[in-house]
Amino acid sequence: MTKHLSSAGHAATRVSGSEFRAFITRLHFYVGLFVGPFILVAALTGTLFVLTPQIETLIYADQLRAQTQGEPRSLADQAQAARSYIGQGPRLFAMRPAPKAGATTRVMFSQPGLGDSESRAIFVDPVSLRIQGDLIVYGTSGNLPLRTTIDYLHRHLLLGEIGRVYSELAASWLWIAALGGVLLWSWQSNQAARTGVGRLRRLHSTTGIWLAVGLVFLSITGLTWSKWAGDHIDQARGYLGWTTPSVTTKLTGVSSGTGSSEHASHGTHDPGVSPIAGDPSILLDDIQFVARQGGIDSPFIEIRPAKAADQAWLVREYDRSWPTQVDTIAIDPSTLSVVSRADFETFPLIAKLIRWGIDAHMGVLFGLPNQLLLAATGFVLTTMIALGYAMWWKRRPSAGVMPKTLIAAWVRLSPAIKVATVAVAIGLGWALPLMGVSTLAFIVVDALRWKIALSMWDAQQSLI
For the chain, how many helices (H) and strands (E)?
15, 8
Examine residue 457 and state whether it is found in any structural domain, yes or no. Answer: yes
Q: What is the pLDDT of residue 68?
A: 94
Q: What is the pLDDT of residue 9?
A: 44
> Which of 90, 116, 143 is the endpoint of a domain?
143
Number of C-beta neighbours around residue 86 at 10 A: 17
Examine residue 199 and state whether it is found in any structural domain, yes or no. Answer: yes
Q: What is the pLDDT of residue 206?
A: 84
Same domain? For 176 and 42 the reply is yes
Same domain? For 329 and 249 the reply is yes
Same domain? For 167 and 230 the reply is yes
Examine residue 154 and state whether it is found in any structural domain, yes or no. Answer: no
Examine residue 10 and state whether it is found in any structural domain, yes or no. Answer: no
Under a CB-based contact definition with an 8 Å cutoff, are residues 152 and 158 in contact? yes
Under a CB-based contact definition with an 8 Å cutoff, are residues 3 and 386 in contact? no
Under a CB-based contact definition with an 8 Å cutoff, are residues 298 and 288 in contact? no
The model's pLDDT over 149-201, given as tens digits with 9 standing for 90+, comes to: 999 999 999 999 999 999 999 999 999 999 999 998 888 754 444 444 477 78
Same domain? For 313 and 405 the reply is no
Q: What is the pLDDT of residue 399?
A: 56
Same domain? For 230 and 182 the reply is yes
> Which of 297, 315, 346 is the endpoint of a domain?
346
Q: Which pTM value belongs to this model?
A: 0.85
216 contacts: CB under 8 Å, gap ≥ 6: 174, 175, 178, 179
Same domain? For 447 and 384 the reply is yes
CA–CA gap between residue 335 and residue 259 (Å, rounded): 9
Residue numbers in the chain where pLDDT is lower than 50: 1-15, 190-197, 254-276
Same domain? For 115 and 179 the reply is no
> Which of 90, 113, 143 is the endpoint of a domain?
143
CA–CA gap between residue 460 and residue 455 (Å, rounded): 9
Q: What is the pLDDT of residue 200?
A: 79
Examine residue 351 and state whether it is found in any structural domain, yes or no. Answer: no
Residues of the domain holding 313: 245-346
Under a CB-based contact definition with an 8 Å cutoff, are residues 434 and 172 in contact? yes
Same domain? For 218 and 70 the reply is no
Amino acid (one-letter) located at 175? W
Same domain? For 277 and 411 the reply is no
- Phi and psi (nearest 5°) for 149? -60, -45
According to DSSP, the residues that pair with 137 across neighbouring strands are 119
CA–CA gap between residue 449 and residue 4 (Å, rounded): 41
Q: What is the pLDDT of residue 433?
A: 96
Look at the chain and report how many structural domains it folds into.
3
Examine residue 422 and state whether it is found in any structural domain, yes or no. Answer: yes
Under a CB-based contact definition with an 8 Å cutoff, are residues 5 and 347 in contact? no
Q: What is the pLDDT of residue 391?
A: 85
Same domain? For 256 and 189 the reply is no
Q: What is the pLDDT of residue 241?
A: 87
Burial readout 183-207 (b: 16 or more C-beta within 10 A, e: otherwise): ebbeebeeeeeeeeeeebbbebbeb
Same domain? For 42 and 168 the reply is yes
Q: What is the pLDDT of residue 82?
A: 98
Q: What is the pLDDT of residue 360?
A: 97
Same domain? For 457 and 381 the reply is yes
Which strand ranges, in their side-by-side order, compose the sheet holding 301-304? 131-138, 118-124, 105-110, 91-96, 301-304, 313-317, 328-332, 337-342
